[in-house]
Amino acid sequence: MLNYSRTEENYIKAIYHLEAGKDSVSTNDLAESLQTKPASITDMLKKLKKKKLVSYQAYYGCRLTLEGKQLALMIIRRHRLWEYFLSQKLDFSWDEVHDVAEELEHVSSEKLINKLDAYLGFPRFDPHGDPIPDEKGAIANDKLISLNNQPENKPCIVSKIGNQSVSILEMLEQKNIAIKTRLEIIKKYPFDGSMEVKVGRSRTTILTKELAHNIFIKEV
Amino acid sequence: MLNYSRTEENYIKAIYHLEAGKDSVSTNDLAESLQTKPASITDMLKKLKKKKLVSYQAYYGCRLTLEGKQLALMIIRRHRLWEYFLSQKLDFSWDEVHDVAEELEHVSSEKLINKLDAYLGFPRFDPHGDPIPDEKGAIANDKLISLNNQPENKPCIVSKIGNQSVSILEMLEQKNIAIKTRLEIIKKYPFDGSMEVKVGRSRTTILTKELAHNIFIKEV
DNA sequence: ATAATTTTTTAGATTTGTCTAAATTTTTTT
DNA sequence: AAAAAAATTTAGACAAATCTAAAAAATTAT
Ligand SMILES: [Mn+2]
Ligand SMILES: [Mn+2]
Ligand SMILES: [Mn+2]
Ligand SMILES: [Mn+2]
């Protein structure tokens, strides 16, 4: 794998995240995501096409090639491993790791990343519950389901939070809910989508549908 | 402390290292050290002067201002802490850490560096024996002496290697000499400057004056 | 002190990544 | 199927960091 500029890497990663689901990524969405102007996107897409990282047809958006997708996975691997390191070893809190990882992800020594991976014990999820691609780019796709889709009286484990804002962190912290917390829905209220949930073994609390929608779980 | 570009940081660090001893740093020496052309140096010096990081007078070289020196110390702090991390935690060998640290040193989060420092136990020397500036830029200047200047029968501790080439690493490894190894000169041979040295508690070996010159020690 | 040599600066061009404004194409509405 | 609106691209400019070639200044040698 060749070496790419920080800017190119950020584009590739953004395309990867945006193309999930959709069958092509629009110039405008990319501009929005990268906080830049559509004209700049067009310029860069031409360049990335020349480098065979994306397929791109004028006016019809772009997609990653296989090579582009592999690069994206490596950048995401670095990002999430650093987030895990910051949270686990340096005692950073959940919502502080992302910005620093955004810088560290561009240090591209493969040896560094593989040794870091080993040092951390080959973690499979980052502090937000997102899966960490392995050395070859393979990614655990435990199909995570939202707490909204879980029936009553079936215990489950929090494995990912959909939204990484400070406000949701605060709220979950106060309710004692974190990655790996055991939850069980006691009662669902169809009227407003809210639910009464047992947190861990004893305490119960009320979650709105907005909050529950952002809590992804695995069955136990 | 403001944020500076990777390029600016590399210039500041290079000036810091070159100005040791001399009272000003020449354009040519900087070009040599940064692997670039003198004309580029002139351009950047004007820019760094405008930012008050260096004092610079056309045709008469440059020096760091107090602010510039403080910035240099912070970059060196990051560089050496990362080297220590790579060597101590990720099991990198002595001669592999520098290049990776050259990249990591530009991740400028103060919180990251201070937490890393704490995690590593506030180390005072990097894997090459160079001192690590503290949070405020203070630097241990243990006046290190070369093994050549040590008398016979006075035990000492290896605390720095002057030259960081692969060839010296190999040689020292084979002789079981590393940072913190205890040495004691048994006999000096004035004829060729070589010496017989006890390594640790038992083994002895012969060192040439060229090698001994690159081994810096502290008295025990 | 002059000439020769070395060092350094200036001038003008190049590359990367960005921008604004205008033109073009696609999509949506009527 | 036009017309209107939205999305996208092109054209031209700019800032950062670099380069080459030429000019200028400082240093060294004669
Ligand atoms: Mn993140
Ligand atoms: Mn990034
Ligand atoms: Mn180093
Ligand atoms: Mn560097």
Strands B194-199 and B54-56: unpaired
| A33 Cβ within 7 A of any nucleic strand C atom | no
Q: Measuring CA to CA, which residue among A86, A8, A21 is closest to residue A54? A: A8
Distance from CA of A92 to the nearest CA of B (A): 9
Q: Which of A9, A79, A85, A115 has the most B C-beta neighbours within 10 Å, making it the best mutation to test the interface with B?
A: A115
Sorted by where each starts, the structural domains of chain B and their CATH numbers stand as: 6-64 (1.10.10.10), 73-141 (1.10.10.10), 145-219 (2.30.30.90)
CA–CA distances in Å: residue A118 to residues A113, A129, A132, A177: 9, 19, 13, 29
Query: Which chain A residue lies closest to B119 (C-alpha atoms)?
Result: A90
CA–CA distances in Å: residue A178 to residues A83, A113, A172, B52: 16, 27, 7, 47
Q: How far apart are CA A6 and CA A108, in angstroms?
A: 10
| A43 Cβ within 7 A of any nucleic strand C atom | yes
| Ion ligand 2, residues whose Cβ is below 5 A away | A 10, 102
Tens of each residue's pLDDT in chain B, 220 residues: 789 999 999 999 999 999 998 999 999 999 999 999 999 999 999 999 999 999 999 999 999 999 999 999 999 999 999 999 999 999 998 789 999 999 999 999 999 999 999 999 999 888 887 899 999 999 987 667 889 889 999 999 999 887 767 888 889 999 999 999 999 999 999 888 899 999 999 899 999 988 998 898 988 8
Distance of CA A125 to the CA centre of its chain: 10
Q: What's the start-to-end Cα distance of chain B, in Å?
A: 39
Chain A interface includes B31 (CB < 8 A): no
Q: How far apart are CA B28 and CA A116, in angstroms?
A: 39
Strands, E assignment, chain A: 54-56, 62-64, 145-146, 156-161, 182-189, 194-199, 204-207, 215-219
DSSP conformation letters of B116-166: HHHHTT--SB-TTSPBPP-TT--------EEGGGPPTT--EEEEEES---H
Q: How far apart are CA A199 and CA A204, in angstroms?
A: 6
